Amino acid sequence: MISRSRAMALIAFVLSAVGAYFVRYCLLVAGEGVSRSGGGISLFAPDLHELFFTVASLLLTGGLFAALLLAVPALIQKIED
């Protein structure tokens, strides 16, 4: 059974990852949608290269978050001793 604090941390991580991806996607759409010549609006369609780097950045962020979750109890114990 997952403790309540771990479950809340997992929910916070998932929601922050989704929020970060949403902000990133909105910035990409805004950057791609504005035509430099002012001739109209183009649509953003992510290719496999973009999706690969998105997944890689999410995995890296998740790994860093997991490392911090593992390190925090040890650091707190070290501070308390």
Residue 33 pLDDT more than 60? no
1-25 pLDDT, tens per residue? 557 777 788 888 888 888 888 887 7
In the chain, what are the domain boundaries? 4-80
The b-or-e profile of 26-60 (16+ CB within 10 A means b, else e) is: eeeeeeeeeeeeeeeeeeeeeeeeeeeeeeeeeee
Predicted TM-score (pTM) of the model is 0.43
Residue 34 banded pLDDT, cuts 50, 70, 90: low
